[in-house]
Amino acid sequence: MPHMPTTSSTHYSIIIVGGGQAGLAMSHCLQQRAIDHLVIEKRSLVHTWRTQRWDSFCLVTPNWQCNLPGWSYTGSDPHGFMVKDELNAWLAGFVEQVQAPALEGVSVDKVSRAGEADRFTVETSAGRFTADQVVVASGGYHKPVVPRMAERLPSSVVQYHSAQYRNPAQLPEGAVLVVGCGQSGAQIAEDLHLAGRKVFLATGNAPRCARFYRGKDVVDWLADMNYYDMPVTEHPLREGVRDNTNHYVTGRDGGRDIDLRRFALEGMELYGLLTGLDGDLLQFQPNLREHLDHADQVFNSINASIDKFIAGNGIDAPPGVPYVPVWEPAEERATLSLRASGITSVLWCIGFLPDFAWVDAPVFNGRGEPMHLRGVTQQAGLYFLGLPWLHTWGSGRFSGVARDALYLAEQIEALQRGRASTPLAAEALA
């Protein structure tokens, strides 16, 4: 359990907004430096893993990548994929180990420097706090994306966002339309498909990758290739990589590829991008073939980079072959009747948007995204942690947040020392 603050003080050296793995990693690093701080969490610590994941959820990265500060995976299956209950038990251990000074069930309404140039003011549902420095560790997935066309669907059609989906039995009898084929959409479509539900999938341009290739998990190969150590400043896309959709793959049942073409062979109906609703007719762009070809091209290009690495390092590995499509769409279908198809529920799996409107500081770009270098903003004492590609691929995951938290702790400590030394320096000059 978290430690409740032991004093009634409303001022802290550091306030951390968000009690997920990033906020707790930050707390761990600050405790090691004996820097007083407070974690403020709107709900409960690491709650999203309990409350926003479906029942059959499992990790898509192997367990060995679960490497939070002072709390690495030590189970018997490092190359396996923890399922939801196992993951939450592991995270509960991390919460217990960190013992963060935390306020749970408290929302942060505003962070600003108004009125006190050397301090941040943090307005919350539990009152006003101040801090020398603030770490925003609330993640980047705040507002579920549901298009306005959802308002025009018949009231008889049940609608959920992916964060609300739990299992096939939650949905009424009948066919299901899954919108989006990123990690969540592809895995939820598979969950419904394996349960025997009729699934219609509206695809997007999400890429995919192999689970295993040439004798190892692709994640292991990419780790050997140092891909996970590449900073965003060295990535070919630079900061643009932060806009990329995650590759779809699964750790389910020991891990396997997700091949939408194979699902189509088995009866799942695939469509292009969902663009509108005209009466009873859902409307789609004729780009299904383009989406499938793009996903396969990325799949094969990742494998080709592994081939090159194996050849260049003289590694003895089983042979690999390019993926060859097992199904092609006979036609690009532009419309689908809700009534004729028997669709009774829609699952919106098109992601989240960030919402940092409560952070009153000149550190955002035109899209409301924080501008930073490794989480350090131009506003002295204001930091971000836990965002995708904050520094590396693993920044928003269990594999990279520890490194990011350690780096920020070093910046925080240096700034604290500078502030503490200022009065002494002034006295010496007097």
pLDDT in tens, 378-417: 999 999 999 999 999 999 999 999 999 999 999 999 999 8
Block residue for tokens 């550190």: 363
What is the reported pLDDT for 187? 98
Question: Which residue type occupies 118?
Answer: D
Instruction: Quote the CA–CA distance of 342 and 362 in Å, as a whole number.
Output: 50
Query: CB 187: neighbour CB atoms within 10 A?
Result: 24
pLDDT at 6 over 80: no
Residues 6+ apart with CB under 8 A from 324: none
Residues 6+ apart with CB under 8 A from 227: 393
pLDDT band at 245 (very low <50, low <70, confident <90, very high): confident
pLDDT at 349 over 60: yes
Q: In terms of DSSP bridges, do strands 127-136 and 120-124 run parallel, antiparallel, or are they unpaired?
A: antiparallel
Instruction: Quote the CA–CA distance of 391 and 404 in Å, as a whole number.
Output: 7
Burial label for 354, CB within 10 Å (0-12, 13-18, 19+), is: middle
What is the reported pLDDT for 360? 97
Q: Whose CA is closest to 38, among 26, 51, 22?
A: 26
Q: How far is CA 347 from the centre of its chain?
A: 19
What is the reported pLDDT for 241? 82
What is the reported pLDDT for 202? 98
Residues 6+ apart with CB under 8 A from 345: 157, 158, 159, 160, 171, 172, 174, 176, 177
pLDDT (average), residues 231-242: 88
pLDDT (average), residues 13-24: 98
Domains of the chain: 11-142+354-429 (3.50.50.60), 143-348 (3.50.50.60)
Give ∠ CA 344-345-346 in degrees, rounded to 5: 140
Contacts 24+ apart (CB under 8 A), 189-196: 189/263, 189/268, 190/250, 190/252, 190/258, 190/263, 191/54, 191/56, 191/167, 192/168, 193/263, 193/266, 193/267, 193/268, 195/167, 195/168
pLDDT at 423 over 60: no
Question: Which residue type occupies 131?
Answer: A
Question: Which residue type occupies 76?
Answer: S
pLDDT (average), residues 151-178: 97
- Lowest mean pLDDT across 220-229, 238-247, 361-370, 414-423: 414-423
Instruction: Quote the CA–CA distance of 132 and 334 in Å, as a whole number.
Output: 56
pLDDT band at 7 (very low <50, low <70, confident <90, very high): low
What is the reported pLDDT for 275? 97
pLDDT band at 43 (very low <50, low <70, confident <90, very high): very high
What is the reported pLDDT for 420? 62
What is the reported pLDDT for 429? 26
Name the average pLDDT for the chain: 93
Cβ pair 181, 203 in contact under 8 A: yes
pLDDT at 238 over 90: no
| Cβ burial 317-353 (10 Å sphere, 16+ → b, else e) | beebeebeeeeebeeeeeebebeebebbbbbbbbbbe
Cβ pair 10, 129 in contact under 8 A: yes
- pLDDT (tens digit per residue) in 86-145: 999 999 999 999 999 999 999 999 999 976 568 999 999 999 999 999 999 998 888 999
What is the reported pLDDT for 428? 28
What is the reported pLDDT for 421? 52
What is the reported pLDDT for 297? 98
pLDDT (average), residues 189-205: 98
SS3 label, residue 12: strand
pLDDT (average), residues 69-95: 97
> Phi/psi of residue 160, each to 5°?
-140, 150
Q: What percent of the chain has pLDDT over 90?
A: 88
Tokens of 56: 């059959």
pLDDT (average), residues 1-9: 59
Q: At what angle do helices 401-429 and 21-32 cross, to 10 degrees?
A: 40
Strand-pair partners of 216: 213
What is the reported pLDDT for 169? 98
pLDDT at 69 over 50: yes
